[in-house]
Amino acid sequence: MGRSTGDDMILSYNDVVLRRSDLDILSGPHFLNDRIIEFYFSYLSSCYPSDNILLVPPSISFWLQNCSDEDSYNAFVEPLNLPAKDLVIFPVNNNDDVTKAEAGSHWSLLVYYRTANVFVHHDSCRGLNHACSKKLYTSVAKFMVNLDSDVKYQEGQSSPQQQNGYDCGLFVAAIARTICSWYTSSERVNRERIWISDVKEQVTPTTVSKMRNEILSLIKELMSVS
């Protein structure tokens, strides 16, 4: 029997393929890669099924942030059907080199909520990804609303902050989960109120630190039944 390697496939979930090296990342204090975030976004889509919610995979979000060819951009955006979505969640990475995969060093989250016509950026490291987030916002805003609509952008001033240099991806996952839960909650009476207080209350360094094992356990559970 051949020796297993980090490139061995361990799980195929929806359209996401995870490798053994992804388990190693989750097992230690490491920066989350694109695959793990894409897997968790796909899992959230299964947990909160709604035609009104779109969780954008990291590779697509990165392309939307950095593509400079307008014709290619328009053709790529159309299948996402952004005008039909009420809640769109984009992971933001500070890699600006399109020739290098997974070259960034920080994740944050950009969320569009149509009912309030606002983009909100959640950054767990004191606004480190502000420029990258604004770049993505500038690229996609015109596809969200009519050109004469006054779409707003704001930084999540009370966004929870990481206490180390590697948990940013976990904050992205935790905030995305909280927002999806907020959006689908039957208690969400005021549709204009956004999710800021929910994120502040539910996403803490303690809850985020537990997510690494939660995601790892989830993957192992899915592996056992696949």
**Whole-angstrom distance, CA of residue 13 vs CA of residue 222:** 8
Domains and CATH numbers, the chain: 11-208 (3.40.395.10)
**Whole-angstrom distance, CA of residue 32 vs CA of residue 166:** 8
Task: Provide the 3-class DSSP secondary structure of residue 17.
Answer: strand
Nearest to 116 by CA among 196, 45, 170: 196
Amino acid 1: pLDDT: 43
CB atoms within 10 A of CB 151: 18
**Whole-angstrom distance, CA of residue 97 vs CA of residue 167:** 22
Amino acid 106: pLDDT: 97
Q: Which residues of the chain have pLDDT under 70?
A: 1-6, 101-102, 146-148, 186-189, 191-192
Residues 6+ apart with CB under 8 A from 186: none
Task: Provide the 3-class DSSP secondary structure of residue 13.
Answer: strand
**Whole-angstrom distance, CA of residue 183 vs CA of residue 112:** 12
Q: Is-contact 41 218, C-beta < 8 A?
A: no
**Whole-angstrom distance, CA of residue 153 vs CA of residue 138:** 10
pTM: 0.94
Alpha helix (H) residue ranges in 31-81: 34-47, 58-66, 70-77
Model confidence pLDDT, tens digit, residues 73-112: 888 899 999 999 999 999 999 998 777 766 789 999 999 9
- Written as six digits, the tokens of 93 are 């990475």
**Whole-angstrom distance, CA of residue 218 vs CA of residue 105:** 25
Amino acid 157: pLDDT: 82
Amino acid 68: pLDDT: 85
**Whole-angstrom distance, CA of residue 189 vs CA of residue 170:** 29
Amino acid 44: pLDDT: 98
Amino acid 71: pLDDT: 87
Whose tokens are 């989750």? That residue is 26
